[in-house]
Amino acid sequence: MTDICVQPHKDDHPALPALRLCAGCYYGLRGHIKALPRLHADLGGHLSAPAVVTTVSNGPRAAQDGDRDPLVIAETRSPINPAVAELRDQIRHDLVWWTVYVADQRGFKLPDNDLRQIGVWLWRQIDWIAASLPAAEECPPVMKALAGRARAILQPSGAKRIKIGPCREVLEDGPCGGTLYATCRAEDDPRPSAIYCGECDFEAGPESWRRFGRDYLKEAG
C-alpha cells in the first residue's frame, strides 16, 4: 500500500497508517458525510423559494412578407426551486449509492431508508472507505462537492465569506491541515454567523468569537 495520499495535492501528502488518505482528506470526508444529511434537511427549507423561468416563443401572429415571427419573452415563477430539488436528489442518491456499494463489498446489511441513519451508517464505514483504493479515490471528491454546493445555496447573497487562515484543530492523528472561514450573515438572516473549517468538524458561533480569536492569535504568535 502506498504511503502517499491518493487524492491530488500540490505536494505529496503522507497517508495515515493503513489508509490511502492523508489526515486532511480523511477528516474532511468525515465532516462532509456527517454534514450532508443536515444540509439535505436545510435545503428542504429552500425548496419553495420561487425560481424565475424565462421562456422565448413566437408571437401570436404569423410571419408576413418573409419577416420573422415576433418573439415573446415570458417569465414565470416555479413553485419549486429546481436547483435545490436537483441537489437534494443528488445528495440522497450519492449517499444511498455509496451505502449500497460499501454494504455489498463488505457483506453488511443495509440501514433503514432514512437519510440520517444512512449518513450515520456510512460515517461508521469511513475507515474502510479510506483504506480501499477505489473508494478512497472516488468518494471524498463526491462528498466534498455535494457539501460545497449545498453550502453555496444555503449561504444568502447578503452573507460574506472571509478566509481566516489555517485550522489549528488537533485531530486524533495530528493537525487538521484545513482552512478556517467565517460566514458573516445579514442581521435579518435567522441563521447564525459561524467560523468553520472546510475540512474537519470544527465550528464556532458568534458568542465564542472573542475567546476563539484570542486563543487563535496566541497560537499563531
What does the pLDDT look like over 175-190, one tens digit per residue? 887 888 888 776 656 6
More confident residue, 174 or 3: 3
Tens of pLDDT, residue by residue over 17-37, are 999 999 989 999 999 999 999
What DSSP designation does 4 have? B
What pTM does this model have? 0.64
C-alpha cell at 98: 455509496
CA gap 36, 116 in Å, rounded: 9
Secondary structure letter of residue 191 according to DSSP: S
Mean pLDDT check: name the lowest of 39-43, 75-79, 133-137.
75-79
By the 10 Å C-beta count (0-12 exposed, 13-18 middle, 19+ buried), 19 is classed as: buried
The crossing angle, in degrees rounded to 10, of helices 133-154 and 23-44 is 40
Contact yes or no for 27/169 (Cβ under 8 A): no
pLDDT of residue 56: 45
Unique residue bearing C-alpha cell 442518491: 93
Spatial separation of the C-alpha atoms in residues 74 and 63, rounded to whole Å? 20
pLDDT of 197 reads: 83
| Rounded mean pLDDT, 86-93 | 96
Distance CA(76)–CA(8), nearest Å, equals: 43
Q: Are 45 and 178 spatial neighbours (Cβ–Cβ below 8 Å)?
A: no
| pLDDT at residue 123 greater than cutoff 90 | yes
Region 8-25 average pLDDT: 92
Q: Does pLDDT of 72 surpass 50?
A: no
Chain centroid to CA 19? 23
